[in-house]
């Protein structure tokens, strides 16, 4: 479709949103009426863009790849990403080691590489941004307190934090926050989640998580509700967690948290590598049609993107190490289960996984309709949050220049 076409389509969506909302609310008084329209509002344009993508380009859009570096990327790194043409990139602590300006240069360099692709699609740029123990930045942005502390102060405070965090992330070039955790703290998950949950009161969790999601969205950053459908004590980085609950308990104690997050506009839901035997005795949620499609997408009516947790976690790879063939098989299974965006902390596996997806579609192991549904959801997110602006170097420069003032204002407001 070309860089210019996508940029103009995305810009048009942003201008329409601004025209609808700018005249009725100031930056300090915005509320739910000013949230981005739902994904379905961008369906027609997303379908048009889908029609311009070939099979390999479609499969590339399903990849969320970890990248190296902590400042302007090397030519080789940009070329690798351009050739792989993923839907997005994933940032870790080592990427932000040199501070937000260096990170903005890193992200901008990769967006320039994305602009060089034939399809000209901007990148989703994702980072964990929960606060407390799960917070990648060491300097240059407002440090968020743990969700446990936020839960004690309530939804109004959570909304303020989401709003300020979103403004700061957007200035750097991050457009997808892998937050918040929407699970209620319980005896079965306390060992894993601890202070990452807003607390044991479901109403307080819904209030705080919903306000944080809306705060991010008001600043132009997509939020991710996690971890669907819930967690047990075992850390999926170390092994396979098993959530021993009945279907009735799942519907009573777990699903309402995600239903609430969806109602507040969560753009993404992160799938947990957790086994729920009462729903699927053999496949964890990431690979389970019964959980991802039947429950999340159909029963809960989720229209956004279902993103997997890292496919390199031991919950999926135990016994096979980090075997790329095993990860590629998990990727194919996840897409068939209903996952739309595949998280790969080792971005070098991207070409292998992309090739596996292409082969699976050509052989009929993945229906092309399922692939198209995933790509449309990703394109809708990119349009909904105006990601095309990231392809404009001058717009990026203005954003990062504004960051120090935004951080100072955040300090004043949060105090």
CATH code for position 375: 3.20.20.300
Q: Over 60: is that where the pLDDT of 256 sits? A: yes
pLDDT attached to residue 317: 82
Categorize the per-residue pLDDT at 10 as very low, low, confident or very high, splitting at 50, 70 and 90.
low
Domain carrying residue 396: 3-23+34-414
> pLDDT tens for residues 143-168?
999 999 999 999 999 999 999 999 99
Please state the rounded mean pLDDT for residues 259-282: 97
The model's confidence at residue 390, banded by pLDDT at 50, 70 and 90, is very high
96 alpha-carbon distance from chain centroid: 18
Annotated active-site residue 309? The verdict is yes
CA distances in angstroms from 109 to 115, 140, 221, 378, 398, listed in the order given: 10, 20, 20, 21, 16
pLDDT in tens, 57-98: 999 999 999 999 999 999 999 999 999 999 999 999 999 999
Q: How far is CA 34 from CA 16, 214, 216, 260, in A?
A: 12, 10, 12, 19
Residue 83 lies in a domain: yes
pTM to 2 decimal places? 0.93
Non-local (6+) Cβ contacts of 253 within 8 A are 184, 186, 202, 230, 245
Report the C-alpha gap between 34 and 22 in whole angstroms.
8
**Strand pairing category for 134-135 and 129-131:** antiparallel
Q: Domain for residue 233, yes or no?
A: yes
The count of domains in the chain is 1
For the record, the structure tokens of 20 come out as 């609808």
Task: Out of 34, 206, 207, 309, pick the active-site residue.
Answer: 309
Write down the pLDDT at residue 117: 79
CA quadruple 375, 376, 380, 383: dihedral, nearest 10: 70
* Cβ pair 274, 242 in contact under 8 A: yes
Q: To which H or E segment does residue 344 belong?
A: strand 342-344
Task: For residue range 206-228, list pLDDT tens digits in order.
Answer: 999 999 999 999 999 999 999 99
Q: What is the pLDDT of residue 361?
A: 98
Q: Which of 79, 201, 237, 323 is catalytic?
A: 237
Tell me, yes or no, whether 28 lies in a domain: no
Residue 18 has what pLDDT?
39
State both tokens at 118.
């034939």
Asked if pLDDT for residue 189 goes beyond 80, the answer is yes
Torsion of CA 69, 70, 71, 75, to 10 degrees: 10
User: Encoding tokens for residue 72?
Assistant: 């302007």
Please compute the mean of the pLDDT values over residues 290-295 and round it to a whole number.
Answer: 98
The long-range contacts involving 389-395, CB below 8 angstroms and separated by at least 24 positions, are 389/10, 389/11, 389/14, 390/107, 390/108, 390/111, 390/122, 390/123, 390/125, 390/173, 390/175, 391/3, 391/6, 391/7, 391/111, 391/112, 391/114, 391/115, 391/120, 391/122, 392/7, 393/108, 393/112
Q: Is 134 helix (H, G, I), strand (E, B) or coil?
A: strand
The answer, yes or no, to whether residue 389 has pLDDT greater than 60, is: yes
In this predicted structure, the answer to whether residue 12 has a pLDDT above a threshold of 90 is no
Residue 235: inside a domain: yes
Q: Which of 107, 122, 163, 178 minimizes the C-alpha distance to 383?
A: 122
Asked whether residue 29 is domain-assigned, the answer is: no
pLDDT, the chain, mean: 91
Q: Is residue 14 part of a domain?
A: yes
Q: Is the pLDDT of residue 122 over 80?
A: yes
Cβ contacts of 62 within 8 Å, gap of 6 or more: 87, 331, 335, 340, 341, 342, 357, 371, 374, 375, 378
């Amino acid at each position: 479709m070309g860089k210019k076409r996508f940029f103009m389509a995305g810009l048009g969506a942003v201008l329409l949103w601004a025209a609808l909302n700018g005249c009725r609310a100031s930056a300090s008084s915005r509320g739910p009426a000013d949230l981005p329209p739902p994904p379905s509002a961008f369906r027609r344009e997303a379908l048009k863009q889908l029609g311009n993508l070939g099979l390999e380009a479609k499969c590339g859009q399903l990849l969320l790849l970890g990248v190296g570096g902590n400042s302007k990327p090397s030519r080789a790194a940009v070329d690798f990403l351009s050739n792989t043409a993923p839907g997005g990139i994933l940032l870790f602590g080592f990427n932000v080691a040199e501070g937000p300006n260096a990170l903005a240069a890193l992200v901008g360099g990769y967006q320039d590489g994305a602009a060089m692709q034939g399809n000209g699609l901007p990148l989703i740029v994702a980072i964990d941004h929960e606060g407390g123990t799960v917070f990648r930045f060491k300097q240059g942005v407002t440090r968020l307190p743990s969700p446990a502390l936020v839960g004690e102060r309530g939804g109004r405070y959570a909304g303020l934090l989401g709003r300020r965090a979103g403004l700061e992330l957007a200035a750097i070039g991050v457009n997808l926050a892998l937050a918040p955790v929407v699970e209620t703290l319980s005896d079965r998950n306390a060992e894993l989640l601890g202070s990452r949950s807003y607390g044991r009161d479901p109403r307080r969790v819904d209030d705080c998580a919903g306000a944080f999601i809306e705060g991010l969205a008001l600043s132009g950053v997509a939020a991710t509700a996690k971890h669907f459908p819930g967690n047990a004590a075992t850390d999926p980085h170390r092994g396979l967690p098993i959530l021993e609950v009945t279907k009735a308990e799942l519907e009573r104690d777990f699903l309402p948290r995600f239903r609430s997050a969806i109602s507040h506009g969560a753009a993404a839901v992160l799938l947990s590598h957790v086994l729920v035997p009462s729903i699927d005795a053999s496949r964890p949620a990431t690979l389970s049609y019964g959980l991802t499609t039947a429950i999340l997408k159909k029963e809960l009516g989720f229209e956004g993107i279902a993103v997997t947790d890292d496919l390199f976690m031991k919950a999926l790879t135990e016994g096979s190490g980090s075997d790329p063939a095993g990860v590629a098989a998990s990727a194919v299974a996840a897409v068939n289960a209903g996952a739309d965006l595949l998280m790969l902390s080792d971005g070098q596996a991207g070409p292998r996984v992309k090739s596996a997806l292409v082969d699976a579609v050509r052989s009929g192991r993945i229906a092309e309709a399922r692939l198209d549904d995933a790509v449309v959801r990703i394109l809708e997110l990119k349009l909904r949050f105006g990601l095309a602006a990231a392809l404009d170097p001058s717009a990026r420069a203005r954003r990062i220049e504004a960051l120090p003032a935004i951080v100072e204002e955040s300090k004043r407001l949060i105090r």
